[in-house]
Chains A and B, each alone.
With several copies, the nearest count.
Chain A
Amino acid sequence: MSESRRDGPATGGSTPADSGATPPGFTRSEMMIVAAARELAGQRVCFVGVGLPNIAVNLARLTVAPELELVYESGAFGAKPARLPLSIGDPTIVTGATAAVSMFELFSFYLQGGLVDVGFLGAAQIDRFGNINSTVIGDYEHPKTRLPGSGGACEIAINARQVFVIMRQSRRSFVDRIDFRTSPGNLGGAEAAARTRREEGWLGSGPSVVVTDLGIYHFDETGEMRLDSIHPGATLEQVRDTIGWQPKVADPLPATLAPTSEELRLIREELDPEGAYTK
């Protein structure tokens, strides 16, 4: 992640708004997507998950990261989709791409081979150390909610050089204890995680950013999430109400720069005219 980008909001942003209302002009989902896209500045190869990562990464390609090479687990490298694909299995991913390869090749040579800089994931549950659940809510054998499962998320978390997460925060999603560990984050803390990664020969250094509808989190030296930027219109109270633990908060806490009119235009007119991601 580029430092200038990371410092951007701190120097250029306004102070957090007191009101919990969404400011006029953009939605919380739009702010989340824009914030996530900006985090990709300076990155080269990004493995794109289904759902919110898909629109964030495509926005980044059109704005802060024109050189970004998009990898879709379905088997495309260097994709330049002419429209936002709803699914990661979509013909627009292939037409005009640099390479269309088998999933064996994609997972073996690109991901496991260490060529992916950022794995960009969504999730149903996350804990303070960035461990992720996308498998079940409740007990595995008799789940309350059966979720889609790993897809490629398990190996992306282990083999991508770093992991970005984008998800809406709530008491059900930001939990003290995830019900199932689908993708490892910083395990029980930074020190143990670093040792495990070294001993088990992981290429990845784990999660580095979580972008939600309320703010942007990075991971501190203990391996725990810390709120480093709060979105315009969001309050600390809202943040605390939607997290199942006492979150660490940067001090001072800058406000995320609001979406620019160009970022909003790209989302609304080019990427998601039907509002599938931004409702």
Chain B
Amino acid sequence: MVAAGTARKLVFSWLGNPGVGGLHAIRRRVEDTNPAPLELEEYSHFGMVGRYTAGASNLPFFPLRSYFETDLPKVNPLIRPIRSPYGDETVYAVPPLKPDVTVVHAQRADADGNTQMWGLLGCQKEAAFAAERVIVVVEDLVDEAVIRADPNRTVIPGLIVDAVVVEPWGAHPSYVQGAYDRDNRFYRDWEAISRDAATTAAWLDEWVYGVSGRAEYMEKLGAERVNSLRPSGSAPSGSVDYGVYE
């Protein structure tokens, strides 16, 4: 969206191609205002986590021990000191963030949107509870009984979900724990593609505008590459017993 010019502003804590390098499309817009300037509102990771947590909790701010003696509060006036009502200690606060839409990718949900995930959870739960609308994209649509069999695994309740999209491989080039791996080749290739506006545009034409949807995109990637992303074996969690109490 940054490369395609549809994003006007980024609220963020890290801008990179993880494990590879920088993000050239963003750099072009920030360093050269090409094709247009990009507005930035910058925090640290914990600051963003705090913002989502405040948004999800309907709190007017979230306090954290960060930002001391750094330049971040100088360039972002929304990072503000707050004094403790106990003693004279001062920490920093960040304001709530309530996204218009939060999109979450998960392993499974039922038709009501009750969603379970395992692996790294990031701040997907907080971002979902903070949002006006929530879209859940899942690898598998499962029966309600599957969800209710393991209530501690539920991360997002259907109560706050507006749409469930069943889209296997929907997280590519990223991964889904237990389903497929991170496609590192994609991230490495992106380094070269994204260095130049023209090659970036050509890639968008071919891989975004040029395909009808996720299924065609995966087909275009090719069976060999797709299959190489499957885990080399299974690592079952094992089952626990909740017990019947009648």
Which residues of A are in contact with B by a Cβ distance under 8 Å? 44-45, 50-51, 54, 69, 73-78, 80, 82-83, 85-105, 107-109, 111-115, 135, 140, 143-155, 158-159, 180-184, 187, 196, 200-203, 276
Contact = CB atoms under 8 A, between A and B. Distances in A.
A152 B65 CA distance: 12
29 contacts: A50-B19, A54-B19, A77-B159, A82-B244, A86-B182, A87-B19, A90-B182, A91-B181, A95-B177, A95-B245, A98-B158, A99-B114, A100-B121, A103-B46, A104-B49, A109-B125, A112-B58, A113-B56, A148-B14, A149-B15, A151-B45, A155-B64, A158-B65, A159-B58, A159-B65, A159-B66, A181-B70, A196-B68, A200-B90
B245 A82 contact: yes
Contact of B69 (A69, A115, A153, A184): A184
A203 B65 CA distance: 10
Nearest to B30: A146
B126 A50 contact: no
Q: Secondary structure of the B side of the interface?
A: loop
Interface stretch (B133-141, B146-154, B210-218): B146-154
Contact of A94 (B13, B90, B242): B242
Nearest to A83: B246
A115 B160 CA distance: 8
Contacts of B245: 82-83, 90-92, 95
Given A82-B246, A182-B70, A104 B13 contact: no
A113 B129 contact: yes
Contacts of A115: 159-160
B147 A98 contact: yes
A187 B231 CA distance: 46
B70 A154 contact: yes
Nearest to B119: A94
B31 interface: yes
Interface residues of B, number: 76
Nearest to B174: A89
Contacts of B181: 91
A148 B57 CA distance: 27
Given A95-B244, A102-B123, A104-B53, A143 B72 contact: no
A82 B57 CA distance: 31
Q: Secondary structure of the A side of the interface?
A: loop
B78 interface: no
B14 A150 contact: yes
Nearest to B126: A104
Given A89-B182, A184-B70, A201-B65, A149 B114 contact: no
B184 interface: yes
A196 B231 CA distance: 49
Contacts of A97: 148, 151
Contact of B182 (A82, A91, A143, A201): A91
Given A69-B159, A147-B22, 7 more contacts: A75-B120, A91-B176, A91-B231, A91-B242, A94-B177, A146-B30, A154-B67
B91 to A, nearest CB: 8
A81 to B, nearest CB: 8
A132 to B, nearest CB: 9
Nearest to A138: B31
A153 B19 CA distance: 15
B187 interface: yes
B46 A107 contact: yes
Nearest to A105: B125
Nearest to B145: A96
B42 interface: yes
Contacts of B246: 82-83, 92
A271 to B, nearest CB: 13
A74 B122 contact: yes
B59 interface: yes
Contacts of A96: 148-149, 151, 235, 242
Contacts of A153: 44
B205 to A, nearest CB: 26
Contacts of A75: 120-122
Contacts of B158: 98
Contacts of B65: 112, 155, 158-159, 201-203
B5 interface: no
B44 A112 contact: no
A103 B175 contact: no
B26 interface: yes
B45 A73 contact: yes
Contacts of A182: 70-72
A155 B44 contact: yes
A41 to B, nearest CB: 19
Interface string B5-49: 000000011111011101100110011000000000011111101
A178 to B, nearest CB: 9
A103 to B, nearest CB: 5
